Amino acid sequence: MRTVTEIDRFIEENRDQFIKISDQIWSIAETRFEEYQSAELLCQALEAEDFQVERGVGGIETAFIASFGSGNPVVGILGEYDALSGLSQKKQSSNKESILQNGNGHGCGHNLFGASVFAAILAVKKMMIEQNLYGTIRFYGCPGEEGGSGKTFMVREGLFDDVDVALTWHPGNFTGMFTSTTLANYQVYFKFSGTASHAANSPHLGRSALDAVELMNVGVNYLREHIIPEARIHYAIVNSGGLSPNVVQSEAEVLYLIRAPQLNEVNAIFERVSKIARGAAMMTETEVNMKFDKACSNYIPNHTIGKLMQENLSLFSQPSYDEAEMTFANQMMEKITEDDLRSTISEVRRLYRTELPEQMKDELFFREVLPYYESTEIMFGSTDVGDVSWITPTAQFWGPCFIFGTPFHSWQLVSQGATSIAHKGMLYSGKVLAKTALDLFLQPQVIEDAKHELLEKRDGVPYVSPIPLDVKPSPLNQK
C-alpha cells in the first residue's frame, strides 16, 4: 500500500504541471500526423525530467519514445495527443459554440491521454529510483490515432519489438477494463478519372468520374446484404469533382473504410469492393486508381495483465466532484440525449455482462469500477492499439473523465476536455498506469504468463502488418 500512497501523493503534488500540459494540448488541437507542437511539448517536458527522448521515431515526425532505466523488463505506456477536425468548441460551455470556425477540437480526450502518461511515467521513474528497480520504462508518443493508425505504422517499423508489456487507457465516461476485442480495418481511396466536357453542349464527349463514384457507392450498398453482420463499410466522397454542374466532372474520389472482426475478413470484403470499383469504372468508361491509406488489426485483450490492472483501478479513489462541477455537469446533461444515455447503458451491459440499472441514466457520473469480465463481445469500433496487442501483451482501461453518456467525437466531449472534471479522471488514470507498471517490474512471472496467454490466443497466426510497406502515414487532406 505504500506504493499506492506514494504514487497518489506524487501525482497530486504535481497535478498543476500535468493539467497545464493537458490544457495546452487541448488548445493546440492538432490533427493526425501534424501534432508538431503537442509532441514537442511532451518531449521537452520529458527531457526536463531527465528522460532520454528520441523524436521522429519510425520515420514519423510526430512520434517519439521517451525512456528511463535499462535492460528488461521493458514496459511501454502508450500515449496519444491528436485531435479531430471540425470540432472546435469552447471549453466548459454547455452550448455548442466554436472557438474557430471549422477548427479542430479534442473530441476524443487525447489531450488527457498524453498528459496522464506523462504523469504516470514520472511517478514510475521516481519509484524505480527509490525502490532500486531494474528495467526500462518507455513513454510511446503515438500520433495519428484518429483515422491514421499511427501505432500500426510504429509496429510495422519494429518500434515495439523488444517491449515486454504495453499498457494504456482511454478517457471515457466510466471506469472499467477494456476487455473486448475490436474490429480490424482497411482505409482505401478510390480515385476515378474521366473526361471533362460541356455538360449541355457536348455531354456525349464527357466521361463522368462523379458518376463512377455514385455507381460504386450504389454497388457497395447492394453488397451490404451479403457480408457478415459484424462487418461495417463506410465511405466519404472526398472529391466530388468541382462545384459546377455544367461541367462533366473528370475527377472524383471516394474514401472507403472497411471493418470486420478479423483482417482476412476485411481483406475479402475489400477485394469485393475493389471489383465493384472496377465495374463502376467500366460502366462509365473512366479509370480507377486505388491508394491504400491505412489499416489496423483487431485488439487482443490480455487478461493476465488486465486482471492486475483491474485491482489497481480499485486501489485509487474514484474522482469526487464539488458543487461547481456538479452544477456544470447538470447543465451539460441537458445536452446529452436520452438516446445517448440509453445507448451507453446498453453498451456497458453488453460488454461487461453487468446489471447496470436503467436509473443510471438519471446519474451525472458513473462512480464505481466495473467488474472484470472476460468478454467475448466485439466493441464495434477500431483501435490501432490492436496491432500493439498482437506483438506484445497489452492491457487498457477506460478512465472516468466525462459526464455519463457523453458521446465520443462530439462538441460535448470537447467542452468537458479541459475542465477540472476531466483533469480528475486524467490524474486518476495516470496513477493506475503507474501502479500497474511498477507491479510488473516486481512480478516477472506475470509478464511470462501474459506472454504465454498471447501466444495461446494467436494460436500460431503470425503477425503481418496490414499496411503495405510502401504506404506512408499521411495527414488529413493529403493523399
Chain residues in the site for Zn ion (CB under 5 A): 108
How many other CB atoms are found less than 10 A from the CB of residue 442?
11
**Least gap, CB of 107 to Zn ion (angstroms):** 8
Is the distance from CB of 147 to CB of 32 less than 8 angstroms?
A: yes
Instruction: Cell numbers for 261, please give them.
Output: 472482426
Distance, CA of 388 to CA of 391 (rounded, Å): 6
Of the two residues 41 and 108, which places its CB atom closer to Zn ion in the complex?
108
**Least gap, CB of 16 to Zn ion (angstroms):** 25
Q: What is the DSSP letter of 297?
A: P
Distance, CA of 78 to CA of 392 (rounded, Å): 12
**Least gap, CB of 145 to Zn ion (angstroms):** 6
Strands (E), 34-123: 52-55, 64-70, 74-80
Of the two residues 82 and 340, which places its CB atom closer to Zn ion in the complex?
82
**Least gap, CB of 396 to Zn ion (angstroms):** 11
Of the two residues 192 and 299, which places its CB atom closer to Zn ion in the complex?
299
SS3 assignment, position 36: helix
**Least gap, CB of 359 to Zn ion (angstroms):** 28
Q: What is the DSSP letter of 172?
A: E
Closest-by-Cβ residue to Zn ion is 108
List the one residue out of 285, 205, 286, 287 whose CA is nearest residue 248.
Answer: 205
Of the two residues 242 and 381, which places its CB atom closer to Zn ion in the complex?
381
Q: How many CA atoms lie within 13 A of 417 on its CB side?
A: 38
Of the two residues 312 and 396, which places its CB atom closer to Zn ion in the complex?
396
> Parallel, antiparallel, or unpaired for β 165-172 and 74-80?
parallel
Of the two residues 250 and 382, which places its CB atom closer to Zn ion in the complex?
382
Residues linked to residue 256 through DSSP beta bridges, in sequence order: 188, 235
Distances (CA, A) of 316 to 4, 37, 320, 323, 461: 7, 32, 12, 22, 38
Instruction: Cell numbers for 196, please give them.
Output: 471533362
Q: How many CA atoms lie within 13 A of 459 on its CB side?
A: 2
Evaluate the omega torsion of the peptide bond into residue 261 and state whether it is cis, within 30 degrees of 0. no
Is the distance from CB of 53 to CB of 170 less than 8 angstroms?
A: no
**Least gap, CB of 401 to Zn ion (angstroms):** 11
Give 265's contacts (C-beta < 8 A, 6+ positions apart): 184, 228, 231
Of the two residues 135 and 399, which places its CB atom closer to Zn ion in the complex?
399
Of the two residues 21 and 108, which places its CB atom closer to Zn ion in the complex?
108
Of the two residues 251 and 347, which places its CB atom closer to Zn ion in the complex?
347
**Least gap, CB of 84 to Zn ion (angstroms):** 9
**Least gap, CB of 170 to Zn ion (angstroms):** 6
**Least gap, CB of 110 to Zn ion (angstroms):** 6
Of the two residues 108 and 119, which places its CB atom closer to Zn ion in the complex?
108
Where do we find the cell 478519372? 193
**Least gap, CB of 120 to Zn ion (angstroms):** 17
How many other CB atoms are found less than 10 A from the CB of residue 468?
9
Is the distance from CB of 107 to CB of 83 less than 8 angstroms?
A: yes
**Least gap, CB of 80 to Zn ion (angstroms):** 7
Distance, CA of 36 to CA of 43 (rounded, Å): 10
Is the distance from CB of 257 to CB of 235 less than 8 angstroms?
A: yes
Distance, CA of 58 to CA of 157 (rounded, Å): 5
Of the two residues 185 and 239, which places its CB atom closer to Zn ion in the complex?
185
